[in-house]
Structure 1
Amino acid sequence: MSGGRRLLVLGPGEGWHADRLRSAAARRGDSLEFAAYESLAAALDPSCGHRASCERGWLGDFDVVLTRTMPPGTLEQITLRLSVLHAAVEEGLPVVNEPRALEMAIDKYRTLARVAALGYPVPETRVVQSRREAMEAFSALDRDVIVKPLFGGEGRGVMRVHDRELAWVTFSTLENLGAVLYVQRFVPPGGVDTRLLVIGEQVFAVRRTAAEGWKTNVAAGARCEKIEVEEWHRQLAQRIAGDMSLRIAAVDMIDSADGEPKILEVNAVPGWKGAEAALGIDVAEKILEATEGHEKARKVGVCGLFNSEHRVH
């Protein structure tokens, strides 16, 4: 077990997951600090070049950056946060998961398209920008669909629509809000799925069953139980995570009444409260272990991520 590293976690510093990460770091002898994405900043000046910082100081003073939940923001705010992380990666600072992986996984449609391109089954899905097109999709998908935000997690904003009048109101509201309309065929029977949790080279599996209804999110009351990881589980999860450059991920597969399960989502910042209880392992410690061997190869200068040796002359 390695120790003595200084780790920065981008994301909420309060709550169950933050406490688990702090406890795991303390046991390992690592120093762990939290910073808000909103505090990421960058500067360019003649003496030092590019400098990236957060409320905890220069990013270059940390050995590893662990990315957790990014809060909503404007297009400019999200672009800046990711740009700062891209610059950090380019200068050799390990970021887990790295920004290009976050960019893909945060977009449900792009993720699902990538999974389908790998040859795995996914639910029939339409992504449009108007009520008219959404109503056409509703009819084409047999008037029983799941509507969800393009961004988001933990089941927030996800609804099942199988009434034409409700579909009209739902799509009208989303259009007025300027939202993308993500319309997906409902996969019966609903309410049962498998989560494959990828942590570094390891894959763990849990079965999630809705207490009632069709939502399998543990936050919504679903029951979670450990299942054995079959070889096809391992290969599928590692191939998808590897293709998306994800070191930490959750691949969610929903049971399908017509045969093989379908991939619903790939989460780059998975929660693990229910999974940890079912698996009987310390997931936070596994996550910190997965960042080992990714420490930056060099210490950057006091001016930030780009020291004088890396300035363009």
Structure 2
Amino acid sequence: MDQPAVPASNRKPLQILVLGPDEGWHADRLRSAAQAAGHQMQFARYETLAASLDGKGRHRPGCSLGTLESFDAILTRTMPTGSLEQITFRLATLHSLIDSPTVVVNPPRALETAIDKYATLTAVSGLGYDVPATVVVQSRREAMEAFERLGGDVVVKPLFGGEGRGVMRVQDPQLAWTTFATLERLDAVCYVQQFVPPGGIDTRYFVIGDGVWGIRRQAREGWRTNVSQGGQSVAVPVSESQRLLALRVARRIGIEIGSVDVLEASDGLPRVLEVNGVPGWKGAATALQIDLAAEMIRHVEVLVASRRNEFADIMEPTSNCSPFARPTE
């Protein structure tokens, strides 16, 4: 499904910053799509984010390339690990741009929710959609109680993380005890989710603005469907009810670009499993035969045009000042 395009007569070259690595398949596709649309794209790492306040209260969030508000749009890709202080600061720096003319895609609040699997499922449940039964606890004893309560067949996952890393199916009580003991020693929470049969197949709905594309993912071996874990993808049509589900979930989380994973269960009831706010699309692009990076750039154009209209009265150039800085007297 195509995004509503910005009329060519209104299209101006954009300055786009990507927060994330400047090499690799995804970076190359984004760079090519931006260049094809006539925009300039640069890359900076999250580790270079910085901020300052001058004596007159002007806030200057920046990075290795200069001030962040000098860009029309910032695309947030995978944030590297860091200390609690570092992660909090990076997100706070992005939060400071929310009321500025610079568009942040996806916005920090959406990233915070999507990366937290339990927060995501709580939000999805609030919309009335089914999710797998899930328990999150902080001790081995309570995790074992959850293991028994959920039928002795569970999936244990990191609360944060993606691409199937650190995910395991546990059916044996002794293995469960060892797993939960290890997590407790690491000061990690125990995210315990009931296994939903048959396993090994789900549908990923890739969302870009109002566009939704469906990819059925099937495990080559075992039950994990992630392409990074060997899963295979094939394009599938998206019904109107499926499209509305994906869009409602995406809007609830706050993502403009992302994916919604839905399990196909033996009982016929679909269950929303996860929402990804920083999705990879290599497997999806191959299955769909669509340039998803180009779709993303088109949607960024729409978002920037909308934001420019909102800030039309304060977008006149100023000398070395943030466009949303406090006026000098």
- After TM superposition, the score normalised by the length of structure 2 is 0.91
Aligned length: 311
Task: Give the distance between the partners of 1:300 and 1:238, measured in 2 at CA.
Answer: 37
SS at match of 2:264: strand
- Matched with 1:257 is 266
* Unpaired stretches in structure 2, ≥5 consecutive residues: 1-7
Match of 1:217 among 204, 207, 226: 226
Aligned partner of 1:184: which letter?
Answer: Q
Cα distance per residue 1:183-225 (max 9 Å; x no partner): 0001111000000000011000010000010000011111100
Is 1:10 matched up with 2:19? Answer: yes
Task: Give the distance between the partners of 1:3 and 1:217, measured in 2 at CA.
Answer: 38
- Matched with 1:27 is 36
Q: For residues 188 and 300 of structure 1, do their structure 2 counterparts lie closer, same or farther at Cα, with a shift above 3 Å needed? A: farther
Aligned partner of 1:284: which letter?
Answer: A
- Tell me the C-alpha RMSD between the 2 structures: 1.5
- Matched with 2:85 is 76
Identity across aligned pairs (percent)? 55
Match of 1:150 among 149, 159, 165: 159
Task: Give the distance between the partners of 1:245 and 1:305, measured in 2 at CA.
Answer: 25
Aligned partner of 1:79: which letter?
Answer: T
Task: Give the distance between the partners of 2:89 and 2:237, measured in 1 at CA.
Answer: 41
Is 1:97 matched up with 2:115? Answer: no
Match of 1:170 among 149, 154, 179: 179
> Contact 2:208 / 2:257 at 8 angstroms: preserved in 1?
yes
Match of 1:280 among 269, 281, 289: 289
> Contact 1:51 / 1:306 at 8 angstroms: preserved in 2?
no
Cα distance per residue 1:38-58 (max 9 Å; x no partner): 111111111461110011111
Cα distance per residue 1:163-202 (max 9 Å; x no partner): 1111111111111111111000011110000000000110
CA drift of 1:151 comes to 0.6
Match of 1:141 among 145, 150, 154: 150
Q: Which moved more, 1:133-142 or 1:69-78?
A: 69-78
Match of 2:124 among 115, 120, 134: 115
Aligned partner of 2:216: which letter?
Answer: R
> Contact 2:72 / 2:101 at 8 angstroms: preserved in 1?
no
Cα distance per residue 1:55-87 (max 9 Å; x no partner): 111101101011111112222111111111111
> Contact 2:132 / 2:272 at 8 angstroms: preserved in 1?
yes
Aligned partner of 2:106: which letter?
Answer: N
Match of 1:198 among 207, 210, 229: 207
Q: Which moved more, 1:274-283 or 1:82-91?
A: 82-91
Aligned partner of 1:307: which letter?
Answer: A
Task: Give the distance between the partners of 2:218 and 2:323, measured in 1 at CA.
Answer: 46
CA drift of 1:299 comes to 5.9
CA drift of 1:103 comes to 1.2
Is 1:159 matched up with 2:168? Answer: yes
* Unpaired stretches in structure 1, ≥5 consecutive residues: none
- After TM superposition, the score normalised by the length of structure 1 is 0.96
- Matched with 2:67 is 58
